[in-house]
Amino acid sequence: MGRKILFITTDQQRFDSLGCNGNKFCRTPNIDALAKKGINYARAYNQNTVCMPARSTMLTGQYVRTHGVFANGVPLPDDAPSFAQYLKDKAGYRTALIGKAHFEPAFDPKFRYRENARQRDGDFGPWRGFDYAIHAMHTANFRGAPVGHYGRWLRAKNKEVFDAWPPLLNASPGGDTGAPETANHAIPRGLYHTDWLADLAVEWLGSLDADEDWMLWLSFPDPHHPWDPPASELPRCDWRDLPLPDGLPRSEAELRKVLAEKPAHWLAYYDGTFANIEGGPMNFTPKALSHDNIREINAKVHVMNELIDEAVGRVMAKVKARGWDGDTDVLFTTDHGELQGDFGFVYKGPFHVDALMRLPFIWRPAPNAKVAPARVEQPVEQTDLAPTMCAIAGIEPAPWMQGAPLPVSDDGSRERALCEWDSQFPGYGFHLRSIVRDGFLLTRYEPSTPGAPNGLEESWPQFAQITTRVRYDGSEGELYDLKNDPLQWHNLWGDPKMASMKRDLIADLYDNLPEERTQKLKVEAPA
């Protein structure tokens, strides 16, 4: 009997959302305990700031330009490598994925993709290296059709609750303040997807033989929008009691000054002349947000995170009850962050700042491995997760994995982290390349490419009308001193004093980006 692996992920969770990372309004004692007993990575970064590319990186251990899923709506090929399959083949692990996968487009009314057709067919595995795979998304109901196994289960369990599920990607006002996607959700606790997924994880762990080696990827869809935890839980955090986020300039004039220092699409998004449809609803304009809107969104995010923490506690209790705690490694992270009021924005998109790039990232090694607790400040990446699981299993990382096992101390082995963005919709042509190194975050904007139809218009005609007036010629970029400007309000890209540092970082960025796939994958859906 070897070491077991519990891999827990969330969706759209900020680094500073946890008590162990300084949050004073959200109670996360179970996750904090993992950080206290393990390694808490203070500078962990994703390789893309939206769901599908980041999740494909976690599954494959590869950079975005290698696995090819450069945006939401680009399906990961069926033959893409999987760390789960590798653990099965090389180390005999039992494997499961319970929760959000999103390696293939999520909203798929014609069931073109296996990830979605599985719920229609009642198929729970095997799939992409997982012996058992059951799917849940942020919603159960998309235009009357169930989404994932969770949607099908909820419709059968309680159709009234299924029919009343708040819509996704619709900025219609809700909640107490009229904030977007904040409908007060009457769903009972036991039917909410966070609780349902914890139930399934406990059940699956209970089905295993005592001496089996296993890897469970437990993937919660929260705290991604819609911000709709069960209404019964809202008293946990009253939005009226919350301060505004540090990253939000307090006046309109100050906010515009901060945004004006950045490339043009930042201010254009705020004013509504740039439609950030790759990161949020088409009908949303940040300028419309009130301070109370931001407070209510953040309060509901805190509630969602507390429910996740309680679910983690339930699953950890099951691990202990099975006698496995001493031999179980726990990894906790997310796919990307959320703006949550920073810069006057919510949602995500082509904005390479800590709010979206910097991740909660915790590894509690199995106690029997006797690894000393630590806080690691050097940069690490999502590409490191798959090799780390190989190290836990006692096998060499696969040759196709591009990261390395995570360090357990600040040993100086890591110098940089990389992140990319490539737009998926016709008329955009944004290409961002970022590096974090030596306490700086640099993003170079490559020249915009002309927009051209890419097939989305056939099944999603609303996207045929989307255009933007923002174009980049390759001279633009962002450069932030993370130590002296942790909020990333002051863009040093054009500062003559930073010219040498800028050149060095750009050269290092392109020296370390892997070569792109010879054949670029096709965008097939919006998300």
Ranges of each domain in the chain: 4-247+284-413
Render pLDDT for 38-93 as a digit per residue (tens, 0 to 9). 999 999 999 999 999 999 999 999 999 999 999 999 999 999 999 999 999 999 99
- Quote the tokens at residue 294: 């931001």
Report the predicted TM-score, pTM, of the whole model to 2 decimal places. 0.97
In angstroms, the Cα distances linking 514 to 63, 150, 185, 405, 508 are 8, 37, 44, 18, 12
Q: Give pLDDT tens digits for 11-45.
A: 999 999 999 999 999 999 999 999 999 999 999 99
Structural contact between residues 387 and 57, judged by C-beta atoms closer than 8 angstroms: no
> To 10 degrees, what angle do helices 29-37 and 291-321 make?
60
What CATH homologous superfamily does 4-247+284-413 map to? Answer: Alkaline Phosphatase, subunit A (3.40.720.10)
Are the C-beta atoms of residues 31 and 18 closer than 8 Å to each other?
Answer: yes
Q: Are 84 and 129 in contact (CB under 8 A)?
A: yes
Q: Which stretches in the chain have pLDDT values below 70?
A: 1, 426-428, 451-468
DSSP string, 450-471: PP---SHHHH-GGGGG---S--
List residues bridging with 479 in a β-sheet.
442
pLDDT of 427 = 62
Q: Two tokens at 457?
A: 């218009």
Q: What's the pLDDT score for residue 526?
A: 81
Greatest Cα-to-Cα distance within the chain, rounded to the nearest angstrom = 64
pLDDT for residue 269: 95
Model pLDDT, residue 459: 64
- Cα gap 25→18, rounded to integer Å: 9
Q: How far apart are CA 255 and CA 504, in angstroms?
A: 30
In whole angstroms, give the CA distance from residue 511 to residue 435: 11
pLDDT of residue 469: 75
Do 33 and 355 meet the contact criterion of CB atoms below 8 Å apart? no
CA nearest 191: which of 232, 226, 154, 141?
Answer: 154
pLDDT of res. 168: 79
Residue closest to 523 by CA, chosen among 426, 389, 383: 426
Q: Which of 134, 139, 166 is nearest to 151 (CA)?
A: 139
* Structural contact between residues 57 and 391, judged by C-beta atoms closer than 8 angstroms: no
